[in-house]
C-alpha cells in the first residue's frame, strides 16, 4: 500500500491511508431526509439534513474516481421485526412506529421505499450496502469482517444523524481499532447544537474517538 497522507483536522492532522480508507455514508435514506418518513414521525424538521447531501456527493465522486472502498448503510429491519427489540420500537411517542405503514411504506423496513438511499447518493455496483438493525453500523451486520477482508484500517464518516447513527458507528469503529474522521459538512442533525457537541466530543482528549475536518480539507489532500 502507498504512503499515508496528512489532512489538516481537529484535534491534529489525520493520517489517511490511500486505498485502505473507506468512505462511510450513514443512513442517507428517504426515511430521514424526506417528509413522511421515520425522522418526520419523531417530530423533526427533516430539511435540516439536506445541506449534507452535496458534500457527500463530492466525496463519493472522489472515492469512486480512485477505486477506494465505499460503504453505505441504511437503518432497516426485517419485515417480521425479529431484529427490532421491543425496547427500540416502543421508545418515545412517535406518530408512527417502526414497521407501521406510512406514506413511503412501512417505516424502517428493508426494501420499503422509505429505506431507499436518496437518488443523489445512490450506491453504485461494487459498493458495500448494509441494512443495520441498530444505530451503530457494526451491530449484527458482519461489516467488520468485510472491512478486514478488504484491508480497511481508516474510515471517513458522513451521513445522518450526527449524534445518533453517525456517532454510534464512529464509537463502534473506534473500539474495533479503526482510525475515524468525521466530515464536518457531510453530516447533519435535527439538532444543530448536538452536531456541534459531537464534533467537540469525538476530538477531545487527544482524538479519543477520532478526528473531524471539512470536506474541502479531505478533498484537497487526496492523492
Ligand atoms: N432520530 C435520529 O436522529 N436518528 C435516527 O433515529 N437514526 C439515525 O441517526 N440514522
Pocket of ligand 1 (CB under 6 A): 27, 32, 42, 75, 135, 160-161, 164-165, 190
Determine the pLDDT at residue 92.
Answer: 86
Mutation test residue for ligand 1: of 30, 34, 42, the one with most atoms within 8 Å of CB: 42
pLDDT at site 34: 97
Asked if 110 contacts 81 with a C-beta cutoff of 8 angstroms, the reply is: no
> 200 CA to middle of ligand 1, Å?
19
Distance (angstroms) between ligand 1 centre and the Cα of 28 equals 10
Q: Do 182 and 144 form a contact (C-beta atoms < 8 A)?
A: no
**In this predicted structure, what is the pLDDT of residue 2?**
59
Q: Which residue has the cell 491534529?
A: 12
pLDDT, residue 3, reads 81
Cα–Cα distance measured from residue 206 to residue 85, given in angstroms and rounded to the nearest whole number: 35
User: Is 0.95 surpassed by the pTM of this model?
Assistant: yes
pLDDT of the residue at 117? 98
- In the predicted model, residues of the chain with pLDDT beneath 50 are 1
3-state class of 6 per DSSP? strand
Catalytic residue list:
27, 132, 165
ipTM of the shown complex: 0.98
- Cβ distance 74 to 130 under 8 Å? yes
Amino acid at each position: 500500500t502507498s504512503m499515508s497522507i496528512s489532512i489538516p483536522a481537529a484535534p491534529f492532522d489525520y493520517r489517511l491511508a490511500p486505498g485502505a480508507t473507506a468512505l462511510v455514508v450513514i443512513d442517507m435514506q428517504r426515511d430521514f431526509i424526506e417528509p413522511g418518513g421515520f425522522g418526520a414521525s419523531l417530530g423533526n424538521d427533516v430539511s435540516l439534513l439536506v445541506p449534507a447531501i452535496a458534500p457527500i456527493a463530492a466525496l463519493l465522486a472522489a472515492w469512486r474516481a480512485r477505486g477506494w472502498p465505499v460503504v453505505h448503510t441504511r437503518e432497516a429491519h426485517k419485515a417480521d421485526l425479529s431484529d427490532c427489540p421491543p425496547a427500540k420500537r416502543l421508545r418515545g411517542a412517535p406518530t408512527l412506529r417502526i414497521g407501521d405503514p406510512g406514506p413511503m411504506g412501512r417505516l424502517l423496513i428493508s426494501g420499503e421505499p422509505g429505506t431507499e438511499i436518496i437518488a443523489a447518493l445512490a450506491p453504485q455496483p461494487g459498493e458495500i450496502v448494509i441494512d443495520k438493525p441498530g444505530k451503530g453500523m457494526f451491530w449484527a451486520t458482519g461489516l467488520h469482517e468485510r472491512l478486514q477482508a478488504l484491508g480497511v484500517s481508516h474510515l471517513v464518516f458522513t451521513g445522518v444523524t450526527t449524534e445518533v447513527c453517525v456517532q454510534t458507528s464512529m464509537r463502534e469503529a473506534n473500539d474495533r481499532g479503526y482510525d475515524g474522521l468525521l466530515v464536518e459538512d457531510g453530516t447533519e442533525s435535527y439538532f444543530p447544537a448536538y452536531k456541534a457537541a459531537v464534533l467537540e466530543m469525538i476530538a477531545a482528549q487527544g482524538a479519543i474517538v477520532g478526528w473531524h475536518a471539512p470536506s474541502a480539507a479531505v478533498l484537497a489532500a487526496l492523492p
